[in-house]
Structure 1
């Protein structure tokens, strides 16, 4: 990310398909004050005195969070996830939720984390900080295959290791854009039960994507195999830095008492960030109240916008890179149904050096997919993000990108022909 920031600063006039952030046209500064006022009114309507409201906004709060009841209600309304508020911990973004969860679950040197690869770098970064070995399970064109996950579990056990959990983004994955089928979701849950495996479900793009949604893994979870990680970065606004984790798994503490995994996460959080900022929670709570519990309805406009942006990107790619040319040069891309990203496959090495050529010579920035592979892989793939761009920027960006791809693909084809000539 530091490298991408450096490239962006160095080429400020380039169109950037790199950042996976929300479209700023949806943000109005006045909404922030309205969210805070709505939450204050909510507290007062619930019987809180002026002093209690002041304390709720200005003082340290409960480590597990002040707005768990509102989050639980929203999860029930939007996702069909029915959990008690005490199974939820409000975190400083989804990133802290990942760190706390890994710290709580991985206790033995033999424990390993399985990740669907390519994967979000936040989870691998958190694992690296905690010295947790990461085992990639390579994604196929339609997403991860359960047979591949099971093979990885068995292979790790044969090495004397214990696969503790699998991290997966089942909906419009970052970075690939792929979505798992209903059948694969059910297979994953069955596999988790058979192999005593937990699933870390991270799905921040569900409620800002158009069309019907497949059920969240947690909503299908009947054996408490899924730890659900949530974020309000896309559905409310990222500046709040509020996320949450649903951890309703039963655990036994050091004294032999029974409790929920959420309580253990809160204990660890008390030593990390103490609590999630009260003002950030208040802003998110105000948005939840404005949405009457349904962030899906609250984000109907953004979902339409992101769907239109995705269609605009796909249409522009089709126009600027005709099928005959793509077939001849080995260029292709997938067609996500939502989210913020798609994967573009190219015949040349799409590394940092190629990115610098793209930014400097063609004025367009993208993300090398290799950065999302914990080990090797992704050398011939590019992540394109369309979420922060308007229609004109997408059109201009694809024009620039097409120029870059044509130059690089022609060079790659010439190099291949030259090598074949030497071989003959």
Structure 2
């Protein structure tokens, strides 16, 4: 299934264009796709394009695809309140009107202007105690991934490991940077330390150096699994013993109900964890503010020392120059409102997402009771937080099935195969529960139930 299959009108539109030489038809120079970077042909990039096309093609379908916060928590006027609060904060700290103006309107330091507030928030929310100089404020967590991978994967033998299935953002970064990525396959219950150890041995046996492991330990995207506390301790010990770093990405903790396990970074006594952070889920996605905690010492050839954060800032200066001062100011105003405790800001949102997850699981259980799903070969996990759960089905949950689901049954989901960098997940789909109202969840699961039964029966 391609975009062309979903846009049959596109062929007609092209047919109506008068015949002409390719350059004239397209308005000048014509580029051969083969001459562009090979990552642009990667299925990872095409998969999201396809999903977006399906969503636009069937606007009335209920979509369990977007992993975005619920719109009902946002009020446009709040943006101005947050901005004013931060400006008042700067004034109260003795900044002149000219200094305040420059901080908002000018580019500002590459590493960010709100690092002190972020460091304070990490200490209060997550028991992560680092100096502000250890942080770099990024354009979302995606840039944090880019900076970390670019800095750490330095030599031809270096390889990036990723717990699989994994967030497509890290796969995309690896593809764009030409970095080799090796999947560490999850087991039925999530991250498997034995598989990681076998992977480390296999990589080294082929002359490669496993440099860093990317993992989402809490309510992972896409699987929804959470790493047990004992596994966290064992992973940190293994990283110390086997000499690799851990890229910890955990954006769903604070928007999940109940007490959360400690982050890997808060347990990290050997500076093995580079923490990739996002404020998109906890504050608001439109700000596009993330961060990276990189407190690892770096020793230079001349004997001088610095921090990995300093090196990441050098890369950032050539990528985005700096993160929007206006976005940083609004985020800072939100942090000031809760004295750095974003958990307090998210009490209501965490409860809402918890109810959404529970409602989705309850509706699935009602629509497909145990005896029926056993007969059909359908199963799902039961995450205790986050936005996502995975459903195993007895048919290929591919792009063709997605198009049928959207067009004939009015429900959209995401193929889990999108999240396996080295193949897998062909008979599983991801449901995101965060963006829908309770009524949409009820109707959406009913539509999904009809689709699953029809597909399963068609193959029986």
Fold shared per TM-score above 0.5: yes
In the alignment, structure 1 residue 352 sits paired with structure 2 residue 385:
no
Question: How many residues matched?
Answer: 413
| Match 2:312 to one of 254, 258, 265 | 265
Q: What does residue 115 of structure 1 align with?
A: 162
The Cα of 1:254 is off from its aligned counterpart by 4.5
1:159 partnered with 2:206? yes
Match of 1:250 in 2: 297
Output the CA distance in 1 between the equivalents of 2:226 and 2:164.
13
Matched, 1:66 2:66: no
**How big is the shift at 1:142?**
1.6
Name the counterpart of 1:135: 182
What is the CA distance between 1:255 and its match in structure 2?
Answer: 3.6
**Structure 1 unmatched ranges of 5 or more:** 414-424
Partner deviation per Cα, 1:8-52 (whole Å, 9 max, x = no partner): 110010000000000000000011001100000000010001111
Confirm whether residue 180 of structure 1 aligns to residue 243 of structure 2: no
Structure 2 gaps, min length 5:
1-47
Normalised TM-score (structure 1): 0.97
**1:418 corresponds to which residue?**
none
What secondary structure, in the 3-state scheme, does the structure 1 residue paired with 2:182 have? strand
Equivalent residue number for residue 287 of structure 1: 334
Q: Secondary structure at the match of 2:386?
A: coil
SS of structure 2 residue aligned to 1:208: coil
CA distance in 2, matches of 1:141, 1:90: 35
Aligned counterparts of 2:377 and 2:337: Cα–Cα separation in 1: 48
- Secondary structure at the counterpart of residue 206 of structure 1: coil
- Given candidates 13, 16, 20, the residue that maps to 2:63 is 16
3-state SS of 2:101 partner: helix
Distance 1:253 1:91 in 2: 24
1:82 aligns with 2:125: no
Structure 1 residues 14-413: aligned runs within 5 Å: 14-413=61-460
Deviation track 1:230-249 (CA, whole Å, cap 9, x = no partner) reads: 00100111110000000000
Structure 1 distance, partners of 2:192, 2:56, is: 39
Q: Distance in 2 between matches of 1:273 and 1:12?
A: 34
2: CA distance between counterparts of 1:292 and 1:189?
31
Which residue of 1 is the match for residue 6 of structure 2? none
Distance 1:291 1:337 in 2: 25
Structure 2 partner of 1:419: none
**What's the counterpart of residue 44 of structure 2?**
none
Aligned-pair CA distance for 1:256: 3.1
Q: Distance in 2 between matches of 1:23 and 1:242?
A: 18
Q: Distance in 2 between matches of 1:367 and 1:22?
A: 17
Supply the distance in 2 between the matched residues of 1:301 and 1:192 (Cα, whole angstroms).
36
Partner SS state of residue 385, structure 2? coil
Root-mean-square deviation (CA, aligned residues, Å) is 0.6
Q: Tell me the TM-score normalized by structure 2.
A: 0.89
What is the distance in 1 between the residues matched to 2:302 and 2:81? 46
Secondary structure of residue in 1 paired with 2:179: coil
CA deviation after TM superposition for structure 1 residue 411, in Å: 1.4
Spell out structure 1 runs of 4+ moving beyond 3 A. Answer: none
Deviation at 1:207, TM superposition (A): 0.3
Q: How far has the Cα of 1:129 moved from its partner?
A: 1.0
